[in-house]
Chain A
Amino acid sequence: MEIELVEIKNHLKRFSPFKALPETVLNDLVSHIEVSYYQNGTKILGHRQENHYLYYIRSGAVEIKRSNGQLYSRCGEGETFGQFSLLRGYKVRYPAWAIEDALIYLIPDEQFQHLCDTFDDFADFMEEDHGSRLLSATTKNRHSSASPLLMTPVRKLIRREVVTASESVSIKEAAKIMSNARVSSLVLLNNDHAKSAADLEVKGLITDRDFRERAIIPGLSFSSPVKTIMSTNVITCQAEDHAFEAMLTMMRHDLHHLPVLSHKQVVGVINIGDIVQFESHGTVFLAREIFKQPDVTGLKRIAREMRLSFVQLVNEGANSHMIGSAMSGLGRNICQRLLQLGESEFGPPPVPYCFLVFGSMAREEQLIVADQDHAFVLHDDFIEAEHDAYFKSLAQFVSDGLSTCGYPYCSGDIMATNPRWRQPLSVWQTYFENWIERPNPEALLHCSIFFDLAGIHGEGAYADQLTSLIREKVKSSQRFLNCLAHNALLRTPPLGFFKTFVLEPDGEHKHTFNLKRRGTAPISDLVRVHALACGSDALNTLERIDDIHAADLLPEGTSDDLKEAMEFISMVRIRHQALQLEKELSPDNNIEPESLSRFERRHLKDAFQVLRNQQSFLRYLTKGSGWRID
C-alpha cells in the first residue's frame, strides 16, 4: 500500500542529499521516519548519549554545542545532525538543543546506513566536515555553469611547441636554449636514461626567475648542471583537463607555469596569462584602452565598461582570484593614467615620487565597490614650501579623477590629498617604525591597511624599501603582532546565521549583513597577521596563505580550508554584486540572508565556521605568545 505522507516526502525532496534519491527510495525512507516535536530550550541529544537516528530538521532551529558549552554550529530547516555519532560508534560527541520550537524527522540507523551503502553522494555528504564540504561546493559550483572557460580543454590553450632539454645540460646551455626559443620556461627531461621517446619523463622545470634567484644571486657556476637549480616534483596537468582545472592547480600551488601532458608526454607549457587572456579579452582590451584616454571623461566611460567586464567574468565562471586581479589591475591602470594626465597638466614632478596604493587594490582583491586608498612617497630632497603645491595639486587631480570613475573618497582620509600621507620616504620610514615599535591597538586599527601596500607609479624602489623595512621590523616585534592580532579579532563572522543572523545593527541595512566587513575583511586581517609574522612578501590573501602554510604557521590542513573559505565568501560577494549590476542597482556588500540560496547558506556557514576557528587559533597564539618567530 502506498503511503501518502506527501508533506514529509516533498520536504525531503527539497534538500540535499535527499533530493538526489530516487522516488521509490524516498517513499520507502518516508515510511520508516519517526517524528518528534521539541520545545525551544529542550535537549535533543545529550553528550555521550547513545544515538541511533539521523535527525532532520523539518522546522525550527537547533544548536550543536561543544562539550564545553561553546557553540559549534546552528542548523535550520532541511539540515541534518547526529550523523557523526551514527558513523562513529553511536556516541554523541556534540549535544544538540532546540533553540526554537523544532519539528524533527528521525531517520533510523538501519535506513541511514543503507542509504550510505547504496548512494555514494549521500555517504559523501554525511561524511564531509566543514572544510571538505566547502571544497566540493566551490568546485561543483563552477562545474554547474557551462562557460567556455570551464569547458575548454587545456590543449586549446597551448600556443607554441614545447621547448625541452635534458636535465643534464649546464645552466648556461639551458639559458641559451630558452633565449633562442624565446621562452620563459624550459621543461627538463630524463633524456639520458630514456631508451625510447615513450620513456621520457618530466624531471624538472626552470623559469627566468630561477636563474636569478638560484644561480646568479648564490653565485653558482654557469657550467654546473641545470638540475641543481631546477624545480623538481613538477606539478602538471593533462591536455584534456578543463582550463579551469589547470587554473585551480596553478592557484593552489602558486605556479606561473604548468606543463601539459598527453599520454605521459609533455606537449606544452601554459602560464596563468594564457588562461586569463583566453576568456577575458574584455579586460585585456580595457587595460589597453585606458592608456589611450585623453581625459577623465574618457576614463569614466572605461570605468563603466569595467562593470560589464566584471559581470562577464562572473558569468564565465571566473574565480575570485581572477576577478580580483582583473579589477585591481584595471584600477591600477586608471590610477596610472590619471597620474600621467596630471603630470602633463602640472608639468614634470619637482622631485621623484612613488604613488602607493593600499588595501584591496594592493592585494589584488578589488571588486566593483572600492574606496580609494593611496599616498605619495616623495624623494628625501622634498622641501615642503617649494614642492608641496605641485604634489597637492596632483593628488587632488588623481583623487577627484578616481571619484569621477566611481572610486569613492576614502572615509578615513587615507589619500594623497591628506598632507600626512604626502611625505618623503624618511618620514614614511619613521611612520612604519613608530607603528611597529610602539604599537597601540587603537592607533593600529586605522593603519593596518598601510601594511598592504604596492607602489604602482614612479619610484617603485621606495615601495620596496618600505616593504623590506616592514618585513624586518615586524618579525622582531611581538607586541606589534599582538596588537594587530587583537584588531584582526574584532570583526567576527555572522555565525549561526540563517534565522539568528547577526545583522548590522544600524543604518538602512537593518536586515542585512555586510559580507566584506564580516567575511572577507576579517580573513584578510587574520591572514595579514600571520603573513607579517612569517616575513612573507606576498600581498594577495591566497598567496599569503600559501606562504603561511610553507612556514608551517597553521595547524595541518587548515590552510586549504582557509583558502576555500575566502574563495567561497568572495564568490558570494562577487555574484551578489554582479546580480545587482545586471538589475542596474548600485552594487554593495550588503546581503539579505533570505536572498541566499540553500546552497549558499549552507556553505557560507561552513566558511564562517572556518574563519571562526582560525580566529580562535589566532587568539590562542597571542594569549600563549606561541608565535614561531626566528
Chain B
Amino acid sequence: MESDISFDWQAHFESLSEKAVHPGLISYLDEPPVPGSTPIGQVRMLALDFETTGLDAKRDAIISIGFIPFTHDRIYCQGARHLLVTPDFPLSEESVAFHGITHTELEGAASFARALDVLLPAMKGHVVVVHYHAIERQFLYHTTLRRMGEVLEFPMIDTMAVEARQIKGRTRLGRMRNRLKGWIRPEPAPSLRLADTRQRYGLPCYQAHHALTDALATAELLQAQLRKGYSPDTPVSSLWM
C-alpha cells in the first residue's frame, strides 16, 4: 500500500468505516479523502507532527501532537493546536532531555483518547501532511490499536519523500541525468532532515522538537516544494502515499 499511486483510499475508508466502533473514528471515516485525481491546488491539508518517547511505535508513546491546517496557498494559524498527551508508557530520561517536556508538564496533559477527540475532527476532510510518514503512521496505527483496539489509516503526503523524489529526479530522463552526474562527480547525498530540507528552500531555521513548530515547518516546506516543482493542477494521488 505504501507508495502505490493507484491505491483506492475512498474504498479503504468505506471498509474501515464498516468495522469502526469509536464514534470519533466513525465520524472521521464518514468523510473520505478527496478523490486521487483532485488537483493539489484544491486540496485542504493538515500538517501533523508527533513528539514521542522514542522511535519504536510498539514500545514508545506519543507525548505531544501539533497540527495546523493549510492549502496550496495559505497556512491558517487559527486552526493550529498543540496537545500534550499522557504517555501510556513511562517517560525515559533520554526523551525528557530530547523534547524538553518534563513529567510535571505532562501532569496537565490529556489522555490519548481525549487528544483524539480534538485531532480527528481536525483531520476530517483534510489530507494529512508529515515529514517522514513512518513515525506518524505507525504511532497512530499502533496507539489506536493498543488503546481502542481499532486502527487508524489514511493517506499522507510526506515532505521527506517529496524531497527524495525531487533530488533523484522525477522523470526517467531526470533520474538518468542525475545518475550520470553522480558518476562523473560523486556528491554526498543531501540530508533529508526537516531543518536541512527547509534550508534548501530558503526557509528560516526553527527550534526543533516542538510538535506544533514542526507541523508549521512541514506545512511551509510543502508549500515551498509545490511552488518549485509542481503545478497546482498536479493530482493529489501523485503526492500522497
Contacts and interface: CB of A to CB of B under 8 A. Distances in A.
Interface residues of B, number: 26
Interface stretch (B25-33, B130-138, B197-205): B197-205
Contacts of B216: 5, 7-8, 35
A119 interface: no
A562 B70 CA distance: 46
A100 B224 CA distance: 12
A5 B216 CA distance: 8
B204 A59 contact: yes
Contacts of A169: none
Nearest to B217: A7
B207 interface: yes
A321 to B, nearest CB: 42
Contact of B78 (A32, A42, A100, A103): A32
Given A58-B204, A59-B202, A103-B203, A5 B212 contact: yes
Contact of A34 (B74, B201, B204, B212): B74
Interface in A1-59: 1, 3-8, 30-39, 42, 58-59
B81 A3 contact: yes
Given A32-B77, A34-B77, A35-B220, A59 B213 contact: no
Contacts of B207: 6-7
Contacts of A38: 227
A36 B75 contact: yes
A101 interface: yes
A7 B75 contact: no
B166 interface: no
Contact of B202 (A8, A36, A101): A101
Interface string B202-222: 111011001011001001100
Interface string B66-89: 000010011111101110000000
A591 to B, nearest CB: 26
A100 B223 CA distance: 15
A424 interface: no
A39 B227 contact: yes
A60 interface: yes
Nearest to B66: A4
B66 to A, nearest CB: 8
A100 B203 CA distance: 11
Contacts of B227: 37-39, 42
B212 A4 contact: yes
A37 B77 contact: no
A33 B77 contact: yes
B172 interface: no
Nearest to A42: B227
A59 B202 CA distance: 8
A3 B80 contact: yes
B228 interface: yes
A42 B232 CA distance: 15
A60 to B, nearest CB: 6
A411 to B, nearest CB: 43
A212 to B, nearest CB: 66
A475 to B, nearest CB: 55
Contact of A5 (B74, B80, B203): B80
Given A5-B216, A59-B202, A35 B74 contact: yes
Contacts of B81: 1, 3
A34 B76 contact: yes
B204 A103 contact: yes
Contacts of B201: 37, 101
A11 B77 CA distance: 15
Interface string B37-70: 0000000000000000000000000000000001
A30 B77 contact: yes
A33 B219 CA distance: 14
Interface string B170-205: 000000000000000000000000000000011110
Interface in A42-86: 42, 58-60
Contact of B75 (A35, A39, A102): A35
B228 A31 contact: no
B77 A7 contact: no
Nearest to A1: B81
Contact of B77 (A8, A60, A103): A8
A246 to B, nearest CB: 47
A38 B82 CA distance: 26
Contact of B213 (A6, A30, A32, A101): A6
A412 to B, nearest CB: 45
Contacts of A106: 74
A485 B63 CA distance: 70
A72 B228 CA distance: 27
Nearest to B201: A101
Given A35-B220, A37-B224, A103-B220, A4 B76 contact: no
A31 B212 contact: no
Contacts of A33: 77
Contact of A35 (B77, B206, B213, B228): B77
B206 A7 contact: yes
B49 to A, nearest CB: 13
A5 B219 CA distance: 13
B75 A34 contact: yes
A555 to B, nearest CB: 40
A3 B77 contact: yes
Given A4-B212, A6-B210, A31-B78, A36 B223 contact: yes
A30 B81 CA distance: 13
A208 to B, nearest CB: 64
B100 to A, nearest CB: 12
B74 A100 contact: no
A102 B223 CA distance: 11
Contacts of A35: 70, 74-75, 77, 216, 219-220
Contacts of A100: 202
Nearest to B228: A39
B77 A31 contact: yes
A58 B216 CA distance: 13
A102 B219 CA distance: 14
Nearest to B212: A4
A35 B45 CA distance: 14
Top 3 nearest A-B pairs by Cβ distance? A101-B202, A35-B75, A37-B223
29 contacts: A3-B81, A3-B212, A5-B213, A5-B216, A6-B207, A6-B213, A7-B207, A7-B213, A7-B216, A30-B77, A31-B78, A34-B77, A35-B75, A35-B77, A35-B216, A36-B74, A37-B203, A37-B220, A37-B223, A37-B224, A42-B227, A59-B202, A59-B204, A60-B202, A100-B202, A101-B203, A103-B203, A103-B204, A103-B220
Given A7-B213, A34-B74, 19 more contacts: A4-B82, A4-B210, A7-B216, A8-B216, A30-B77, A31-B78, A33-B77, A34-B75, A34-B76, A35-B70, A35-B219, A36-B73, A37-B224, A39-B228, A59-B202, A59-B203, A100-B202, A103-B203, A103-B204
Interface of B: 70, 73-78, 80-82, 201-204, 206-207, 210, 212-213, 216, 219-220, 223-224, 227-228
